[in-house]
Chains A and B, each alone.
Chain A
């Protein structure tokens, strides 16, 4: 089992009790991950939007805890996060976890996937796919070069960054078009499709790439709206 997090008691809503034992996890949602990990942050944002209590068990990547036999039994690809639901059901892949939480706890907190109208659901799926096709790999590439590589003592490949930035900029021009006629990516309701952008979008800002959002008026407006949501502010305060 991974180590329990040393989250301080100033955040009581996210700890069901203080005993550090694996038997605590019955009846509690358990998140396996790291608070600094973008993918972990994705599901923390979802949990908080839904008003769900959870316990964070830190899987320390630097110490290779993601490659321990017990973690690999949960997540065979050895990446974070993974989640155990209250009944012990295990699921991994941050976007799958978020979707599962929305479906399982449909009536709690914010509605994050529009239900009841197939066209509206189709447009949600389109928006969720847009995030994966036109944002994620470029944002991740830039952030890997400019933040994660540096953390590991390497130097960013600024040619690669320039190429990725150029492609992301073209895609964000299209985002600006889309967002000129609707408030959010899927329509007029905030959904997981918007939420999924938060972790890497915030890291882009942190490494000085904020111009990508700032220079596009509708993207800027959208980003301000989604990044000032209370749930996201709470996640950022945890990191």
Chain B
């Protein structure tokens, strides 16, 4: 039984998992969940797949089920350690600590603001939840600028967020960052030379290019 991913090729969280699968060279089957029709909120989906009613979910070859995109990616790295790209430095406690620091940076200082802007400017309208809240967007932008100034400092000393190597901590930024660029908000990356270099480096990885081609 191949690895099964329940989600969609354009869902930002599903894209995290697909990128990881491709980095690890793992074959998989993407089973589309009809988000527009609310399939993820049906009792069947809640009972059998993901009790919070979101995508993605992964079912491994042996039937093991796991959800939460970052958890899925971490699990794939642990399970298929020797395959494809190494995405977490599990051999050295300090390197692993700095990886965890970088993974937390993405959650603390990037995701809330980037997903916030993308929600207000794109998903809110798509879901019929009203017009963009410009005051909120302005606040998110202010915060994101302040945080990316710190990214600029960090990335002036090292090529990737956790150190010398590309890791899941960088990968987790791709899908929402891409949405930001598509909304003509790429200036966040472009205006900071080291952030810009890092962004170009991680977005030009073949795995990410393949995921974009699926959409």
B100 close to A95 (CB less than 8 A): yes
In the complex, 25 of the A-B residue pairs with CB atoms within 8 angstroms, ordered by the A residue number, are A76-B153, A77-B108, A77-B147, A89-B97, A91-B97, A91-B98, A91-B100, A92-B101, A93-B108, A94-B104, A95-B104, A96-B97, A96-B100, A99-B97, A100-B97, A103-B93, A103-B96, A103-B97, A104-B93, A121-B75, A122-B75, A125-B71, A132-B107, A137-B112, A174-B51
- How many residues of B are in contact with the other chain, CB < 8 A? 31
Chain A residues whose C-beta falls within 8 Å of the C-beta of B70 in the assembled complex: 125, 129
| Cβ 8 A contact of B109, one of A77, A119, A123, A129 | A77
Q: What does DSSP make chain B's interface, helix, strand, loop or mixed?
A: helix
Chain B residues whose C-beta falls within 8 Å of the C-beta of A134 in the assembled complex: 52
Is A171 an interface position by the 8 A CB rule? yes
Give the distance to chain B from A194, nearest Cβ to Cβ, in Å.
15
Chain B residues whose C-beta falls within 8 Å of the C-beta of A94 in the assembled complex: 104
Chain B residues whose C-beta falls within 8 Å of the C-beta of A128 in the assembled complex: 71
Is B67 an interface position by the 8 A CB rule? yes
Q: What does DSSP make chain A's interface, helix, strand, loop or mixed?
A: helix
B97 close to A104 (CB less than 8 A): yes
Which residues in window 67-122 of B have CB below 8 A to A? Answer: 67-71, 74-75, 78-79, 93-94, 96-98, 100-101, 103-105, 107-109, 112
Q: Are A178 and B101 also in contact (CB < 8 A) when A76-B153, A89-B94, A103-B96 are?
A: no
Please measure, in the bound complex, the distance between the C-alpha atom of A177 and the C-alpha atom of B52, giving whole angstroms: 10
Chain B residues whose C-beta falls within 8 Å of the C-beta of A93 in the assembled complex: 100-101, 104-105, 108
Is A164 an interface position by the 8 A CB rule? no
Is A22 an interface position by the 8 A CB rule? no
B104 close to A76 (CB less than 8 A): no
Give the distance to chain B from A105, nearest Cβ to Cβ, in Å.
10
Is B154 an interface position by the 8 A CB rule? yes
A122 close to B66 (CB less than 8 A): yes
Chain B residues whose C-beta falls within 8 Å of the C-beta of A92 in the assembled complex: 101
Give the distance to chain A from B24, nearest Cβ to Cβ, in Å.
14
Which residues in A have some Cβ–Cβ distance to B below 8 Å? 76-77, 79, 89, 91-96, 99-100, 103-104, 118-119, 121-123, 125-126, 128-130, 132-134, 137, 171, 174, 177-178
Chain A residues whose C-beta falls within 8 Å of the C-beta of B98 in the assembled complex: 91
Chain A residues whose C-beta falls within 8 Å of the C-beta of B112 in the assembled complex: 137
Give the distance to chain A from B17, nearest Cβ to Cβ, in Å.
12
Please measure, in the bound complex, the distance between the C-alpha atom of A77 and the C-alpha atom of B161, giving whole angstroms: 14
A126 close to B153 (CB less than 8 A): no
Please measure, in the bound complex, the distance between the C-alpha atom of A89 and the C-alpha atom of B98, giving whole angstroms: 10
Which residues in window 98-151 of B have CB below 8 A to A? Answer: 98, 100-101, 103-105, 107-109, 112, 147, 150
Chain B residues whose C-beta falls within 8 Å of the C-beta of A123 in the assembled complex: 66
Q: Which residue of A lies closest to B79 (CB)?
A: A118
Q: Are A125 and B104 also in contact (CB < 8 A) when A89-B97, A118-B78 are?
A: no
Chain B residues whose C-beta falls within 8 Å of the C-beta of A104 in the assembled complex: 93, 97
Please measure, in the bound complex, the distance between the C-alpha atom of A118 and the C-alpha atom of B90, giving whole angstroms: 13
Chain B residues whose C-beta falls within 8 Å of the C-beta of A76 in the assembled complex: 150, 153-154
Give the distance to chain A from B73, nearest Cβ to Cβ, in Å.
9
Please measure, in the bound complex, the distance between the C-alpha atom of A91 and the C-alpha atom of B64, giving whole angstroms: 34
